[in-house]
């Protein structure tokens, strides 16, 4: 009786609910979506067409134009986050982690507030503020003598995407700030003191000691930003609608997929093309995550603290 290892049922009971829900609602649909991308609908019948949908997506004049436009916009969206959000986040964290800074907790909590607001609130609030009808933005610029700079940024093709990216930066700067702040606090005092003995203080200490030590956290932030940006949707949808106007200037992969899959106005919804776009998004995110895991993370020097 005791010879054979008996099944430890409790392990199964503990694991089952999580594994079932996760498999059924996340993993299975993920693969099912990738499978659906290989089908199309002909006279209400689902027909297997192989990679035909992807060919349409990448090369058909009508689809390809939209797809590459959305992809290009998405990369620009991501670049703005990397170039603006993360440096500001790091700078704020560096200021906040300064010893003997008063009110640090207060600043930290206040700066994090936009991050907790929903995209709907953020999108509309900025839409109102930037609206030429209301005139908050122009009158503020007027106050500093820069009124001539004002333009209806959200309504212009050339500036709408950048404006929205900056709004998104405004919203999410709290996340890199917090993560870098945590990383900076975990740097042992002795290291900084050793630097001080060698005459490295202030800004030099930041660039020469702290920054190399927080590089792993910067890597994590970059990949989080990447994944977040390439499945972004809500802010664009809340501010510009599913058509991502003006003239698709703010269209990114998330809004493109929504429009394709759900249909909008005269365009009928097409779940199979929607799946194909989802497949492309999946591939992009996978490539990004793999690049990070195998290319960056393993090569990054980790200092034993």
Partner 1 sequence: MNKARSKPVNALAMHGALILYTLIALFPVFIILINSFKSRRAIFREPMALPDAESFSLIGYQTVLKQGDFLLYFQNSMIVTVGSLFFILLFGAMAAYALSEYRFRGNTLMALYLALGIMIPIRIGTVAILEMMVATGLVNTLWALILVYTAQGLPLAVFILSEFMRQVSDDLKNAGRIDGLSEYTIFFRLVLPLVRPAMATVAVFNMIPIWNDLWFPLILAPAEETKTLTLGSQVFIGQFVTDWNAVLSALSMAILPVLVLYVIFSRQLIRGITSGAVK
Helix residue ranges, H only, 37-172: 52-59, 61-80, 86-96, 104-116, 119-130, 136-143, 157-172
Does 124 bind partner 1 (CB under 8 A)? Our answer is yes
| Cis peptide bond N-terminal to 247, omega within 30 | no
Does 274 bind partner 1 (CB under 8 A)? Our answer is yes
Per CB under 8 A, the list member of 47, 110, 149, 300 interacting with partner 1 is 110
- Choose among 119, 93, 131: nearest CA to 211: 93
Q: Measured between alpha carbons, how far is 249 from 127 in angstroms, rounded to an integer?
A: 16
Dmax over CA atoms of the chain, in Å, equals 89
Per CB under 8 A, the list member of 79, 83, 101, 287 interacting with partner 1 is 101
Interacting stretch for partner 1, rule CB under 8 A, among 60-68, 149-157, 178-186, 205-213? Answer: 178-186
Per CB under 8 A, the list member of 72, 139, 207, 287 interacting with partner 1 is 139
Q: Measured between alpha carbons, how far is 46 from 261 in angstroms, rounded to an integer?
A: 16
Q: Measured between alpha carbons, how far is 247 from 240 in angstroms, rounded to an integer?
A: 10
Cβ atoms 220, 289 nearer than 8 A: no
Q: Give the total of residues touching partner 1 (CB under 8 A).
A: 86
Q: Measured between alpha carbons, how far is 202 from 189 in angstroms, rounded to an integer?
A: 14
Does 267 bind partner 1 (CB under 8 A)? Our answer is no
Interacting stretch for partner 1, rule CB under 8 A, among 65-73, 144-152, 153-161, 252-260? Answer: 252-260
Interacting stretch for partner 1, rule CB under 8 A, among 50-58, 64-72, 115-123, 206-214? Answer: 115-123
Interacting stretch for partner 1, rule CB under 8 A, among 77-85, 87-95, 154-162, 296-304? Answer: 87-95
Residue 105 has a CB neighbour count (10 Å cut-off) of: 10
Distance in angstroms between the alpha carbons of the first and the last residue of the chain: 51
Does 83 bind partner 1 (CB under 8 A)? Our answer is no
Does 286 bind partner 1 (CB under 8 A)? Our answer is yes
Does 194 bind partner 1 (CB under 8 A)? Our answer is no
Does 27 bind partner 1 (CB under 8 A)? Our answer is yes
Cβ atoms 213, 219 nearer than 8 A: no
Interacting stretch for partner 1, rule CB under 8 A, among 76-84, 146-154, 204-212, 223-231? Answer: 223-231
The three-class DSSP label of residue 142 is: helix
Q: How far is the CB of 302 from partner 1 (least distance, A)?
A: 12
Does 249 bind partner 1 (CB under 8 A)? Our answer is no
Per CB under 8 A, the list member of 70, 161, 179, 209 interacting with partner 1 is 179
The three-class DSSP label of residue 48 is: strand
Per CB under 8 A, the list member of 54, 181, 206, 256 interacting with partner 1 is 181
Question: CA Rg, the chain, in Å?
Answer: 24
Q: Count of alpha carbons within 13 Å of 242, Cβ hemisphere only? A: 12
Residues 146-175 binding partner 1 (CB under 8 A) are: 170, 173
Does 138 bind partner 1 (CB under 8 A)? Our answer is no
Q: How far is the CB of 179 from partner 1 (least distance, A)?
A: 7
Q: Measured between alpha carbons, how far is 284 from 256 in angstroms, rounded to an integer?
A: 15
Residues 33-72 binding partner 1 (CB under 8 A) are: 33, 36
């Amino acid at each position: 009786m005791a010879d054979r290892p008996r099944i430890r049922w409790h392990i199964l009971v503990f694991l089952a609910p999580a594994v079932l829900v996760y498999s059924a609602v996340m993993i299975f649909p993920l693969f099912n979506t990738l499978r659906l991308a290989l089908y199309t609908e002909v006279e209400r019948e689902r027909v297997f067409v192989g990679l035909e949908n992807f060919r349409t997506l990448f090369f058909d004049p009508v689809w390809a134009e939209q797809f590459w436009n959305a992809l290009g916009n998405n990369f620009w969206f991501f670049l703005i986050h990397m170039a603006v959000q993360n440096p500001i986040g790091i700078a704020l964290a560096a200021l906040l982690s300064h010893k003997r800074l008063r009110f640090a907790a207060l600043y930290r909590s206040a700066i994090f507030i936009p991050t907790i607001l929903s995209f709907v609130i953020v999108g509309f609030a900025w839409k109102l503020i930037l609206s030429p009808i209301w005139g908050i933005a122009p009158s503020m610029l007027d106050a500093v003598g820069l009124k001539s700079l004002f333009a209806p940024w959200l309504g212009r093709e050339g500036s709408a995407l950048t404006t929205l990216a900056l709004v998104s930066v405004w919203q999410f700067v709290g996340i890199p700030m917090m993560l870098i702040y945590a990383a900076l606090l975990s740097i042992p005092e002795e290291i900084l003191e050793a630097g001080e003995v060698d005459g490295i203080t202030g800004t030099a200490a930041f660039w020469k000691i702290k920054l190399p030590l927080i590089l792993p956290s910067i890597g994590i932030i970059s990949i989080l930003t990447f994944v977040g940006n390439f499945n972004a949707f809500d802010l664009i949808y809340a501010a510009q609608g599913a058509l991502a106007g003006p003239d698709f200037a703010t269209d990114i992969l998330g809004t493109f997929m929504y429009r394709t899959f759900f249909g909008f106005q005269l365009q009928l919804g097409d779940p199979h093309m929607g799946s194909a776009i989802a497949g492309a998004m999946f591939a992009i995110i996978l490539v990004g995550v793999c690049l990070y895991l195998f290319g960056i993370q393993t090569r990054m020097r980790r200092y034993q603290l």
